[in-house]
Structure 1
Amino acid sequence: MARNGPGEDIGPDVTPKRTTLADVARHAGTSTAVVSYVLNDGPRPVSDRLRAKVLHALDELDYRPDHAARALRRVRRRRHLGLLVPDVRLPLFGTLVGQLEVQARERDHLTLLGNTGYDPEREIEFAAAFTDSGIDGLIVVGGANGAATAALCRQARIPIVWVHNNRDHVESQVVGADHLDAGRLATTHLTQVHHRENIAFVGGFTAADVQHGDRETVAQRYAGYLEVVGESAARHIPTDLTPSGAYHAMRHHLSTQPPLDALVVGTYAQAAATVRAVTDAGLRIPQDISLVGYDADPTGTYTQLTLTTVQQPIATIARAALSRILDTTPRTSDTPIPPIDIHLTIGESCGCTSAHPVSLAPANT
């Protein structure tokens, strides 16, 4: 619940009032000038004892400097959030950006967008530029430099939320679906509904395989796949997560390894290339090889072959991320994030004839 002042609830959909220098000064028992000296490291010295009191007050009140407001010296109609995504061209991330922008505007926030390409240096470059511009919070989708980005935001006293996945271990939780369950769901559909026995997983998840890609998510999906098929039956086709990498790895596997009858494709970006590799090898989907993927483009229902995919509820994820960054106080930031359900959307690639999604709640509910 957001709070306008000590003990005053203002509802879940209202952005909390910004803590001011005067609030911090009162809490620390000093003047706004001293607070300013601590924040700006000058121009006058502050004793260690008084500095410690001010820093404690800043933490207690979750003070966030409004850099842009100080620069412009005028009231802004809307505040700003920074939004970092790996590649807005991918359907999952493009749809998520759209949802975050719409929902943020409803809460009087505009978004500043940066494409990171899963590049750690680019991520920290965008994060630094956005914090300097005076954002009120940073949303990082698919973080590739978690520890450094978290440290930067902590120093700038700007809240941060991680969405979908995070390459580095950080204290904050990640808002997103359970990718382990997603791996289980895709594989279980192939084994239980289509009785497939020789199922391969397409996608790399090591640093050697993938430099700039969503290898953490793929690793979790592979772990879910592995739980279903078992170590002895697992067949892994490592790729660099690019379409060309998937195509060539798939063609090589089909020409050199024993036949298979199903595929779990670890990312949507590899799906079309995998289908092409199978058909170029003279095999048919789904008659010879059933296929299940992830996060299909919701507009791609008129392609030659519609994909059966595990889908994430993008609107729900966007709402949870914004709530985490705008409504959560330091005292409640460790509150567990409610599980986010996933579902299987049936297409033509697995061999099903029905068109009804199968829902699955995360295993920890």
Structure 2
Amino acid sequence: MPAPADAVGSPPPPTLADVALRAGVSTATASRVLTGSARVSEETNRRVQEAIAQLGYVRRRAPRAHRSGGGSIAAIVTESSQRFFSDPFFARLLHGASRALAPAGYQLAFVAVQDRSEYVAAARFVQRGVDGVLLVSSHGSDPLMPVLDTARVPTVLCGRPLAEHGAPYVDTDNYGGAQAAVHHLLAAGRQRIGTIAGPRDMAASQDRLRGFTEALAATGLEPVVDLGDFSLESGERAMTRLLRRRPDLDAVFAASDLMAAGALRSLRRAGRRVPDDVAVIGFDDDPVAQYTHPPLSTIRQPVEEQGSTMARHILALIENRTPPGPRTLLPTTLVCRESA
């Protein structure tokens, strides 16, 4: 586990007095801002909130004694609201988590964060006293992690974090799934295989890309790589670029089903038949995979199970039971349909 923020050799965390000094107000006034008092002017509230954001201040929470539910868990998704509502992964994950939390009496509250103001709002939400946090879709070194550390809020991560951290995480076998996709394409005789990878600042994307490139390298074939952001539109654009670079491609592995669906659009517009000319495999086994034309072969990851496992881990942390191990890895499986 990481050392506390105020351990020897580390700078002490900011205090309410520090916030008050930065904002040019009294400590009592800063406290009234945190409690949402109507006695504080808009200008004072703005200065205090800016000081909180600049210093990274979060009210410390005492360790919670054992309890039997009745609280709330924050699911903080570090994506835009548009991305959250357009990608079925998030709904499936949170459905699995909510279903596991309900019998224990906990409600699941969703927060989407993308820009600075939304990160500040999420920090304030945590300050108000949630019992735990499920952190989903982290990019790079997530700025919320130091906030959660300082607040001592029980936290479970969705997926392997890029930056070292002591919080437990629940991941799926992204590397093995990508390798299974490549092996299936190779067994079908495909020799010119490209991939549409996800964002570089996400561990899931890196693991899927690594699985793809290492499986191809073992055969001496040269990988052809383009990038998307897991959305349908990005998959369509990436597929168009891949065809421009390698018009002789005979297969593509997309790191999400939405990107694979976008690739199908691009291939259809280019007059390429799937799977006759180009085979396509996605990743996720989201509902969209069954309704594309043709239906998508894909790597199934157990998204609902990932959510429920995260929920069980956060309950163990909140209730002071034996904490989960630092890493839980769930298996992926190849689902063969008509696209490959």
Larger Rg: 1
Could you tell me which residue of structure 2 aligns to residue 191 of structure 1?
186
What is the RMSD computed on CA atoms of the aligned residues?
Answer: 3.2
Could you tell me which residue of structure 2 aligns to residue 244 of structure 1?
233
Deviations 1:189-234 (A, max 9, x none): 1112x12111101125436xxxxxxx43222101000111017511
Kindly provide the amino acid, as one letter, of the partner of residue 91 in structure 1: P
Higher relative contact order (CA 8 A, sep 6+): 2
Kindly provide the amino acid, as one letter, of the partner of residue 200 in structure 2: T
Quick one: which of 218, 224, 228 aligns to 2:205? 218
SS in 1 for 2:290: coil
Deviation at 1:132, TM superposition (A): 2.0
Kindly provide the amino acid, as one letter, of the partner of residue 64 in structure 1: R
Kindly provide the amino acid, as one letter, of the partner of residue 172 in structure 1: A
For the 8 Å contact 2:65–2:320, the answer to whether it is kept is no
Aligned length: 278
Could you tell me which residue of structure 2 aligns to residue 316 of structure 1?
305
- Work out the CA distance in 2 between the residues paired with 1:310 and 1:172: 27
After TM superposition, the structure 1 stretch with the greater mean CA deviation from structure 2, 216-225 or 162-171, is 162-171
Closer, same or farther: CA 128–345 of 1 in aligned 2, 3 Å: same
For the 8 Å contact 2:232–2:261, the answer to whether it is kept is yes
SS in 1 for 2:64: coil
For the 8 Å contact 2:181–2:281, the answer to whether it is kept is yes
Could you tell me which residue of structure 1 aligns to residue 260 of structure 2?
271
Q: TM-score under structure 2 normalisation?
A: 0.72
For the 8 Å contact 1:293–1:310, the answer to whether it is kept is yes
Kindly provide the amino acid, as one letter, of the partner of residue 206 in structure 2: A
- Work out the CA distance in 2 between the residues paired with 1:299 and 1:83: 24
Deviation at 1:176, TM superposition (A): 1.4
- Work out the CA distance in 2 between the residues paired with 1:232 and 1:282: 26
Could you tell me which residue of structure 1 aligns to residue 126 of structure 2?
131
Deviations 1:10-67 (A, max 9, x none): xxxxxxxxxxxxxxxxxxxxxxxxxxxxx99899xxxxxxxxxxxxxxx9x971399x
Could you tell me which residue of structure 1 aligns to residue 332 of structure 2?
342
Quick one: which of 97, 110, 121 aligns to 2:94? 97
Kindly provide the amino acid, as one letter, of the partner of residue 207 in structure 2: Q
Kindly provide the amino acid, as one letter, of the partner of residue 156 in structure 1: A
Deviation at 1:254, TM superposition (A): 1.4
Kindly provide the amino acid, as one letter, of the partner of residue 114 in structure 1: V
Could you tell me which residue of structure 2 aligns to residue 177 of structure 1?
172
Deviations 1:51-96 (A, max 9, x none): xxxxxxxx9x971399xxxxxxxx9982100002231431111111
For the 8 Å contact 1:291–1:308, the answer to whether it is kept is yes
- Work out the CA distance in 1 between the residues paired with 2:304 and 2:198: 28
For the 8 Å contact 2:197–2:208, the answer to whether it is kept is no
1:99-178 aligned at under 5 Å gives the runs 99-116=96-113, 119=114, 121=116, 124-144=119-139, 146=141, 148-178=143-173
For the 8 Å contact 2:160–2:169, the answer to whether it is kept is yes
Deviation at 1:330, TM superposition (A): 7.4
For the 8 Å contact 1:88–1:115, the answer to whether it is kept is no
1:15-26 aligned at under 5 Å gives the runs none
Deviation at 1:165, TM superposition (A): 4.2
- What are structure 1's unaligned runs of at least 5 residues? 1-38, 44-58, 67-74, 208-214, 351-365
Could you tell me which residue of structure 1 aligns to residue 4 of structure 2?
none
Kindly provide the amino acid, as one letter, of the partner of residue 209 in structure 2: Y
- Work out the CA distance in 2 between the residues paired with 1:76 and 1:180: 38
For the 8 Å contact 2:96–2:306, the answer to whether it is kept is no
SS in 1 for 2:259: helix
Closer, same or farther: CA 223–300 of 1 in aligned 2, 3 Å: closer
For the 8 Å contact 2:170–2:329, the answer to whether it is kept is no
Could you tell me which residue of structure 2 aligns to residue 291 of structure 1?
280
SS in 2 for 1:169: coil
- Work out the CA distance in 1 between the residues paired with 2:276 and 2:62: 58
Could you tell me which residue of structure 1 aligns to residue 64 of structure 2?
64
- Work out the CA distance in 1 between the residues paired with 2:233 and 2:186: 28
- Work out the CA distance in 1 between the residues paired with 2:161 and 2:184: 28
- What are structure 2's unaligned runs of at least 5 residues? 1-14, 18-26, 29-59
Could you tell me which residue of structure 2 aligns to residue 80 of structure 1?
72
Deviations 1:233-276 (A, max 9, x none): 11112335443333233223313424011100012231221101
